[in-house]
Amino acid sequence: MKPPVDPERLRARFPALGDADLVAYAEVTRRILADSGRGGELLAELASLARRAREKEVQGQALDADERTALAYWRALEKMQA
């Protein structure tokens, strides 16, 4: 399956992005595009999940797969905004 975003274009524009960032960004973008009617709602849910994941990470707690993906996606966005 073709990625929803061109990883090489992103990597060229945002050199701070690593492989894990690009994987998380593509995965979440794919989810949002698949359910575009709920895009805003999905982003709000993702932001909340990423916030909770960051708090758990600071406290040394283990993250589940969804929390890891949400946090990686959010970190990728932060790198693209820097």
pLDDT in the model for residue 15: 94
Dist. CA 59–CA 44, nearest whole Å: 23
Structure-token match 């895009």, residue found: 39
Q: Is the pLDDT of residue 1 over 60?
A: no
Task: Answer with the residue of higher pLDDT: 29 or 52.
Answer: 52
Whole-prediction pTM: 0.86
List, as one string, the DSSP characters of the chain: ---SS-HHHHHHH-TT--HHHHHHHHHHHHHHHHTGGGHHHHHHHHHHHHHHHHHHHHTT----HHHHHHHHHHHHHHHHH-
Structure-token match 């073709």, residue found: 2
Mean pLDDT, residues 46-60: 97
pLDDT band at 81 (very low <50, low <70, confident <90, very high): very high
pLDDT in the model for residue 35: 86
Structure-token match 């993250």, residue found: 63
